[in-house]
Amino acid sequence: MCGILFSLTDRDHNNQFSTAWDELVPYIKQRGPSSCDEISVDAGSKQLKFLSSVLSLRLPFTKQPIQDSSGDILQFNGELYNPEVENNDTVFFLEKLQHKGVLPTLQALRGEYAFVYYESHTQKIWFARDCIGRRSLLYSCINGQLFITSVPSIGPVENLQEVPGGKVLSYDLNDLNLTSYTWDYGSSSHIQLQYPYSQISPDSSVPYNENEAVVELEQLLRESAGKRLFNIPQMDVASPRISVLFSGGLDCTLLGMFIDDLLAPGETVDLLNVAFENKRVGGGYNTPDRKLGKRSWLELEARSRSKYGRSSKRFRFIEIDVPFDEMMEHRPIVQHLMWPKDSVMDLSIALAFYFASRGQGILYHFDDSLSIQHTKADYTTPSKVLMSGLGADELFGGYTRHTTQLRRDGYESLSSELQLDFNRLHERNLGRDDRVCATWARELRYPFLDEQVVAWAMKCNLRLKVNSDEPDKDTKYILRLIAEKNNLPQVSLEKKRAIQFGARSAKMEVGDSKIKGTDKIQ
């Protein structure tokens, strides 16, 4: 993972981005504490500045920005999972860009990324997020000057906006034009970039074998989790290299299960469970997600010990309690990081992810008899990679409104709703979540948003997603079947609860009860 900061300005005129640059450097460094370097290049009347920080997660360690002998420069934030990547994926990416060109390279890539690439021989600046939009990137292009950053500016930068997922942008230094290349569905010859998956199938009448479907999806999810585990350096077998953002719900518990199946015996996993002091509802930190998290933790650990033995202690539970005053102290930082999202609901979600990803709380483990034991009062997880279940609800129909849509208008309407939800992930969730979590020098990874998983989900019969004949398992039906098959019966029946309500990060002050989630932050 890395932080990206780039500017293209006139050498002989006022640099309108200089203040924003200076303000953002500390935020970029926070994202990548392993190294931070800067390169400046003159191109005619223009000056190009590249600053990258790196969180080293993949050997061999490679500083950024990378500049080669031809003058090309790359800033890369992400992880590539192409099987042909043998060493550092940043070096792999640059070599492919130079040998195949930008668009053909992006067409073949699989992974979570954002980048800035200066192609010296064409005098073009290329920049984009992956086609799903799993990494943050923002830009401003105005008056012949260009500014690109992983993190929003503190002061005003005119026309700063998120780089949209599904688009690749190219800025030509010769004519100062910005060109957009769009990812699209279909296979016609005029399409420049084709999504590696189809749109959601609206046909619910196609025959399917439920048991075969469960086996297929389970294998794809296990492989997806494995890709996101294999390249994390292991410093100490007793020190966890992976954490899970853990509410105790279906999606994150399934991720815990796959990780348990993939890790070597003796390795540990931290389950990060956040709860807020909510002055409006009271009740301390014994929130719905705290209660559910402990129940699901027990079910995960019991399953693990049935495989590895009674003395195995795979999962540790981190109680992350956030006092009201501490939340208020950090709130301005969170509002800055989550921008351009500015609603009450976005803030309540961003607060939960921000404090959960800090990974600081009270550590607990199970003893040999599966009784909870307090281990350490002031603990911070050393793991730099966080697994997130984001995408499961959008792909497999996890929201109550999906069942409402089905009852009201049928499966074809449901397919349109699911497609819309998936298409909006880059705008609604992914950029915001990346920014608030990466500020702690931790990287989010999304097994449910692996391209192969998405491709399978898009073609999956809708009755395997929302099944009105199974009222206890109507949403995310096939994921519940996977949990049931793998000896997680309680988790298989848990209903969706939004994190802001489960952790009680929503409406935290007395008098907030009438505020709507869609209201703008005052």
> How far apart (Å, rounded) are the C-alpha atoms in residues 44 and 26?
30
* 141 among known catalytic residues: no
Q: Which CATH class is domain 220-503?
A: alpha beta
pLDDT band at 400, cuts 50/70/90? confident
pLDDT(457) > 90 = yes
User: Which amino acid, one-letter code, is at 119?
Assistant: E
- Superfamily (CATH H level) for 3-182: Aminohydrolase, N-terminal nucleophile (Ntn) domain (3.60.20.10)
How confident is residue 235, by pLDDT bands cut at 50, 70 and 90?
Answer: low
Instruction: Provide CATH 3.60.20.10 ranges for the chain.
Output: 3-182
Cis omega (within 30 of 0) on the bond before 340? yes
Q: What is the pLDDT of residues 30-60, one digit of tens each?
A: 999 999 999 999 988 899 999 999 998 877 7
pLDDT of residue 13: 65
d(CA 44, CA 359): 47
389 labeled binding residue: yes
Is the pLDDT at 469 greater than 60, yes or no?
yes
- With cut-offs at 50, 70 and 90, classify the pLDDT of residue 520: confident
Per-residue pLDDT at 316:
96
pLDDT at residue 188 above 70? no
Q: Give tens-digit pLDDT for 402-412.
A: 998 998 999 99
Rounded average pLDDT over 206-232? 94
Reply yes or no on whether the pLDDT at 154 is more than 90. Answer: no
Is pTM beyond 0.85? Reply is yes
Is the pLDDT at 156 greater than 90? The verdict is no
pLDDT digits 0-9 by tens, 306-342? 998 877 889 999 999 999 999 999 999 999 999 999 9
pLDDT tier, 194 (very low <50, low <70, confident <90, very high otherwise): very high
421 is in an annotated binding site: no
Of 452, 421, 493, nearest in space to 217 by CA: 452
Asked whether residue 376 carries a pLDDT value surpassing 90, the answer given is no
Range among 202-211, 284-293, 365-374 rated most confident: 284-293
Burial 441-478 (b: 16+ CB within 10 A, else e): bbbbbbbbbbbbbbebbbebbbbbbbbeeeeebbbbbb
Domain with CATH 3.40.50.620 in the chain: 220-503
**Position 507 pLDDT exceeds 80:** no
Q: Give the model confidence (pLDDT) of 80-118 as tens digits.
A: 999 999 888 999 999 999 999 999 999 999 999 999 999
Relative to beta strand 35-43, strand 46-54 is: antiparallel
List all residues 6 or more positions away from 110 whose beta carbon is below 8 Å from its beta carbon: 80, 81, 82, 196, 450, 451, 452
Q: Which residue has the higher pLDDT, 213 or 58?
A: 213
The reported pLDDT for the residue numbered 94 is 95
Percent of the chain with pLDDT over 90: 75
**Percent of residues, the chain, with pLDDT higher than 70:** 96
Q: Is 245 annotated as a binding residue?
A: yes
Query: Position 203: which residue type?
Result: D
User: Is pLDDT at 304 greater than 80 in this prediction?
Assistant: yes
Residue 430's pLDDT band, with cuts at 50, 70 and 90, is: very high
The per-residue pLDDT of the chain, averaged, comes to 92
pLDDT attached to residue 103: 97
**Does 398 count as an annotated binding residue?**
no
Decide which of 380 and 143 is more confident: 380
pLDDT band at 374 (very low <50, low <70, confident <90, very high): confident
* pLDDT above 80 for 253: yes
The span from the CA of 353 to the CA of 376, in Å, is 22
* Residue 495: band (very low, low, confident or very high) from pLDDT cuts 50, 70, 90: confident
Query: Which residue in the list 2, 252, 437, 460 is annotated as catalytic?
Result: 2
